[in-house]
Amino acid sequence: MSERAAITQAVRERAHSLGFDLVGFAPLDAPARADFFRWWLEQGYAGEMHYLHRTADARCDPQQVLPGAKSAVVVGLNYAPAVPIVTNDPSRGVFARYALGEDYHEVMTQRLRQLLEYIRQLRPDCQAKIYVDAGPVLERDLAWRAGLGWFGKNTMLIHTRRGSYFLIGEILLNIELEYDQPAFGGCGTCTRCIDACPTGAIVAPYVLDARRCISYLTIELRGSIPEEHRSQMGNRVFGCDICQEVCPFNHPRPHAPERASPTYEPAFAAREITVAPKLVDLLRMREEEFRTAFRRSPVKRAKWRGFRRNVAVALGNSGQEEALQVLQQELIHETDPMVREHLEWAIERCATRPRSSRSS
């Protein structure tokens, strides 16, 4: 076995010992989907995620990120929850599965640092960069080339045996390694994700208009949610998993029983507040309570005002008598114009529903 192959195998074994479910290696040449990414930006599909435009050149050229870059160690960590996700009770909020527990950025970065320490024991001269969903790299492209999964029509990366409920992180290195083959697979004629998306965000197979995506609307968007999408959000207050929930690859089969199997990662265990919380309780939370409840949680990315905006919309969609009362109470004291707008919309939506359709 060559030194390069030996190091690759040792790193793979160490990554698994650190708890990563998937590990792969890819060369750091030009991303295969660079042209598609630039086209996607030109269509305006990134919405207000201006950082994607600012970092476009670096994302399409790894040498701008790490001069002399040659290899990427790409890892995947399962986050499928062990608790059932209640989505059919309009009085209770729904959080994206990855946001039920601790912030995955912190969890994965800490482990990738441990992995890098090990790599430097093998190659003390190596230079490296660690990223977890926050760096100027085309992360899913890297993961595909490292064999972790293939692109689904919902644009998620899908592992044939494990599904798509896994998070991605990577270490960029200036040393050569042995590389895995790109993942092979496909959706066939299935269009369940496209058909199920309530906002029509998947505008074509493999093309997502983020401006319509509930995840974008509840997390990345800082201003007002377009009215045409508010009723389509239902009771989702942070993120959305609909296009993954309907995907056949996220449902166990006899030949793939591990699909969407619950994570064994303690940090991803659901917090009480993220498991079907009452929407009225979420809206009554004060800012300090929000910060305490979602400390070290991905939910903090929405910010306090964005979270209240999301909850107000969900309460408006619930149409319940108790929701109307709480919305009216909160409007009295709310000073943020953007949040007030959504509270007023929710009040009108609740108030104009037939009384018989409301329940407390």
- Give yes or no for a contact between 246 and 239, defined as CB atoms under 8 angstroms apart: no
65 phi and psi angles, rounded to 5 deg: -90, -45
3-state class of 37 per DSSP? Answer: helix
Could you give phi then psi for residue 129, rounded to 5 degrees? -135, 140
Residue whose structure tokens are 């009085």: 91
Residue 163: strand, helix, or coil: strand
Q: What is the DSSP string of 88-133?
A: S-TTB-EE-GGGSSS-HHHHHHHHHHHHHHHHHHH-TT--EEEESS
Residue 208, token pair as written in the block: 């997502």
Distance of CA 5 to the CA centre of its chain: 33
Tokens coding 33: 């989907």
Enumerate the active-site residues.
133
26 near 142, Cβ under 8 Å?
A: yes
CA 237 to chain centroid: 14
Taking the C-alpha atoms of residue 287 and residue 279, their distance in angstroms, rounded to an integer, is 16
DSSP-assigned letter for residue 261:
P
What is the SS3 assignment for 41?
helix
Q: Which two tokens stand for residue 88?
A: 């059919």
